[in-house]
Amino acid sequence: MSSAFEEGDPSSPIVLVGEAPSHSEIREARPFVGPAGQLLDRLLHSAQIARVTTYILNVFDNQIVKKNQDASKIYSQEGTLLWSSSKGFTEAGIINSAGCRERLEACEANVIVPLGGPALHLCVDVRSPMKWRGSILKGIQGRKVVP
């Protein structure tokens, strides 16, 4: 299965969780195909992990807005606050990220790799990926979460 929101096999051992599709992802109907995706592909290659062996999701299924390039707050296209680094998910953010949470709970991955604050917060109740980068945390259904 492939869409701007998800790609790969839910029975993969590793799931990568991004924030949301960009213009590139929506145009190509695949996650992580823009500049961030090119970086991801290089990092996966250097770790000797084939992208096709992973399951890739986005927290939000629609494009998001970061006002003034401020990554600490994420808004919907309509201007509704979805997530902030200080308070986490808003009610609208919880509703908007529910599909990702359900897919994470249903997938078979043993390792979840959140790529960014909202993805980390969705997997464990932590909002600072820089502080936890490379740590092994216990997350959804006891799975390993490695920011």
* Tens of pLDDT, residues 86-130: 899 999 999 999 999 999 999 999 999 999 889 999 999 776 666
At 2-39, the pLDDT tens digits run 688 899 999 999 999 999 998 888 899 999 998 989 99
- In angstroms, rounded to a whole number, what is the distance separating the alpha carbons of residues 134 and 146? 6
Classified as helix, coil or strand, 93 is: helix
Cα-based distances in Å from 90 to 40, 54, 59, 82, 83:
28, 29, 13, 5, 6
Tell me the mean pLDDT in the region 37-42: 94
Instruction: Report, as an integer, the average pLDDT of 120-142.
Output: 83
**Residue 66: pLDDT band with limits 50, 70, 90:** confident
Residue 131 reports pLDDT greater than 90: no
Q: Please give the average per-residue pLDDT across 72-78, as a whole number.
A: 92
For residue 63, what pLDDT band results from cuts at 50, 70 and 90?
confident
Q: What is the pLDDT at residue 133? A: 80
DSSP-assigned letter for residue 66: -
C-alpha 108/C-alpha 120 separation (Å) is 18
